[in-house]
Amino acid sequence: MTKIGIIIGSTRPGRRAETVARWVHGIASKRTDAEFELVDLKDFDLPHLDEEVPASQGVYANAHTREWARVVDSYDGYVFITPEYNHSTSGALKNAIDFVYNEWTNKAAGFVSYGSVGGARAVEHLRLVVGELQIADVRAQVALSLFTDFENFTVLTPSPFQESQLTTMLDQVVAWSAALRTVRQAAVPA
């Protein structure tokens, strides 16, 4: 069964990312074509990148890095939940992505963002980052506006259109995640 990690990409107090992720998970968990799990960056308490050797080498000196690598490696694809902070993603999410490399490679990703312009600029930056990691990012995305998809800027009240967008994005992530499994298997030496 294809496994998709829904990564809660903010550790900030008062974050909306967890609420958004639970909404995504609630819809995704009704599907039968994949398993979906929440992955909360707060649970890992990753310090600012503290590995001496570049992640592309796959040599991890610290226990927290090895645990994070194990978790990332356990999924076939990802849905990144990202806020938009200062026209980009959160520092916590970028830091977590930078910790490992091979564990991300040849997998698929989709994005659910939120912010004053739906978090669109955060996703633009993430698409550049995940491309370098050889993650296939899907076209469809969900961009939640703090003005129209949240009541009083705090309570998530997404429109039916957003659920439709989410379904399309999940369809693409699941399909690409399953397809890329053969690429990952071909890359493993016999």
Q: Say yes or no: domain 3-187 is CATH 3.30.530.20.
A: no
Domain ranges, ordered by start, for the chain = 3-187
Confidence category of residue 146, pLDDT binned at 50, 70, 90: very high
- CB–CB of 52/130 below 8 Å? no
Q: Is the pLDDT of residue 190 over 70?
A: no
pLDDT tens string 5-55: 999 999 999 999 999 999 999 999 999 999 999 999 999 999 999 999 999
Q: Is the pLDDT of residue 149 over 80?
A: yes
* Bridge-based pairing state of the strands 150-151 and 135-145: unpaired
Confidence category of residue 189, pLDDT binned at 50, 70, 90: low
- The SS3 call for residue 108 is strand
DSSP bridge pairs for 110: 79
Sheet containing 135-145, strands listed edge to edge, beginning at the edge strand earlier in sequence: 35-40, 3-8, 77-83, 107-115, 135-145
